[in-house]
Amino acid sequence: MPRNPFDWIDEESRRRERAGLVRTLRPRPADSALLDLASNDYLGLTRRAEVTEGAVRAARRWGAGATGSRLVTGSTELHAELERELADFCGFEAALVLSSGYAANLAAVTALSGRDALVVSDAGNHASIVDGCRLSRAETAVVPHTDVEAVRKTLEAHPGRRALAVTDSVFSVDGDAAPLRGLADVCREHGAGLLVDDAHGLGVLGAGGRGALDAAGLAGEAGTVATLTLSKSLGSQGGAVLGPARVIDHLINTARTFIFDTGLAPAAAGAALAGVRVLRGEPGLAGRAREVAATLHRGLTDAGLTSARPDAAVVSVQAPSPDAALRWAADCRAAGLVVGCFRPPSVPDGISRIRLTARADLTDRQIGTALSTIIRTAPGS
C-alpha cells in the first residue's frame, strides 16, 4: 500500500507538543463572565450600541455580503463613505478598504515595491509585513528592531535604488513604538517611501486617536503611506491603506489582494464607519486606553514582574518558558481572567509572554482585579 502523503504531519505534531507549542481553538460564548484582557478591542467598541447598530443597518440595506470583488460588484457607496471618513479622520488624501488588515499589508508592500526594489523591514514587524516582503519579490533587508541608523546605512548602500522602509507603528508583542520621525527623516533624505502599519496605533495614539502618524506629524506627507485594521480600535473587521491619491489609484490597479478578493462585507463596513464616528465624538477614549496601560505596567513592575513599558495599549509580561506562559494563561483563566499567550514563533526574540490589552472601557476595579490575578498566578509566586 502507498504511504499516506500526510503522515509527516504526525511527527510535526509530536515536535510541537514536545516544545510546548501546540495551539488549539477555544470557541467563546456570546456572553461570558470572564474579564477579557486578551482581545484587541482597545476602546471597547465591538459591543457599543452605535457600532453594532451600524452593522445591522448596513446589512439590512446592502445585504449580507459584498457579492464580488471591489472592481466588479463589491464596491458600494458605503465603502466609499467609509474610505472618505477614514482618510479625513487620519489626515490622508485618500483611503482604500480591503477585507482584512493582513490583506491591506500584503497589498501595500507588494504594490509599492517589486522585483527591482529594495524593502527595508524592521525585525519585529508583523507576519503580514513579512509575508508581503516575501511575495513582493523585492530584495528585502531585515534591520535590527527600531534601529534608525541601520535603516540609514542600508539605504546608503543602495544609492538611487527605488526603496521602501516598512515598520509597525506599535509592535504587537511588547507594545513599543517605532521611531517614526527618525525613520521619515532618513527616508526623505534617501528618496525612499515609508510604509507604516498603524494597526495598534489607530484609536490609541494621536489627537483623539487619529493614530501614530498623526502623533508624529507625518499624516498626509507625500512620501508616507499607512495601513491599518478595522478590527481593533474600531471594533469591526477589515483593513485599509491610506496615502496620496496616486498611491491608492496604483493599488486599485495592481494590488492582487484587492483586485482578486471579495469586497469587505457591508456589515463590517457599517460597523467600522460607526466606530470612526464614535472616535470623533469621544476623543478622550484614546487617552483612557493609554492611562489603563500605564496603570497595568506600573502594577506589574512594582510586583517585580518583567513588563515592557507600553507606548500604546499593549502590555506584555515575560514568562520563563513557553510551558510556563501557557500555564500562567490557564491559571488566569481559571481565576476568571483571559489574557493572551505569546510563544515562539509569534515572538521574534524567542521569549514567551502573556499579553494584556489595556481597554479604555475597563473600570478601576477591573484593573485591580486583573493585576491581583496576574501577580498571584505568576510562575514561581
3-state secondary structure the chain: CCCCCCCHHHHHHHHHHHHCCCCCCCCCCCCCCCEEECCCCCCCCCCCHHHHHHHHHHHHHHCCCCCCECCCCCCCHHHHHHHHHHHHHHCCCEEEEECCHHHHHHHHHHHCCCCCCEEEEECCCCHHHHHHHHHHCCEEEEECCCCHHHHHHHHHCCCCCCEEEEEECECCCCCCECCHHHHHHHHHHHCCEEEEECCCCCCCCCHHHCCHHHHCCCCCCCCEEEEEECCCCCCCCCEEEEECHHHHHHHHHHCHHHHCCECCCHHHHHHHHHHHHHHHHCCHHHHHHHHHHHHHHHHHHHCCCCECCCCCCEEEEECCCHHHHHHHHHHHHHCCEEEEEECCCCCCCCCCEEEEECCCCCCHHHHHHHHHHHHHHCCCC
Question: Domain 25-42+283-377 falls in which CATH fold?
Answer: Aspartate Aminotransferase, domain 1 (3.90.1150)
For the segment 86-135, what is each residue's pLDDT rounded down to a tens digit? 999 999 999 999 999 999 999 999 999 999 999 999 999 999 999 999 99
For the segment 199-220, what is each residue's pLDDT rounded down to a tens digit? 999 999 999 999 999 999 999 9
- Whole-number pLDDT of residue 173: 85
- Whole-number pLDDT of residue 18: 87
List CB contacts of 19: < 8 A, sequence separation 6 or more. Answer: 322, 344
pLDDT at 346 over 90: no
- Enumerate the CATH 3.40.640.10 domain ranges in the chain, comma separated: 49-281
For the segment 157-205, what is each residue's pLDDT rounded down to a tens digit? 999 999 999 999 999 888 999 999 999 999 999 999 999 999 999 999 9
The whole-number average pLDDT for the span 347-361 is 88
Which one of 3.40.605.10, 3.40.640.10, 2.20.25.90, 3.40.47.10 gives the CATH number of domain 49-281?
Answer: 3.40.640.10
- Whole-number pLDDT of residue 24: 85
- Enumerate the CATH 3.90.1150.10 domain ranges in the chain, comma separated: 25-42+283-377
- Whole-number pLDDT of residue 308: 81
pTM: 0.94
- Whole-number pLDDT of residue 363: 97
Confidence of residue 364 (pLDDT cuts 50, 70, 90): very high
The whole-number average pLDDT for the span 298-312 is 92
For the segment 236-255, what is each residue's pLDDT rounded down to a tens digit? 999 999 999 999 999 999 99
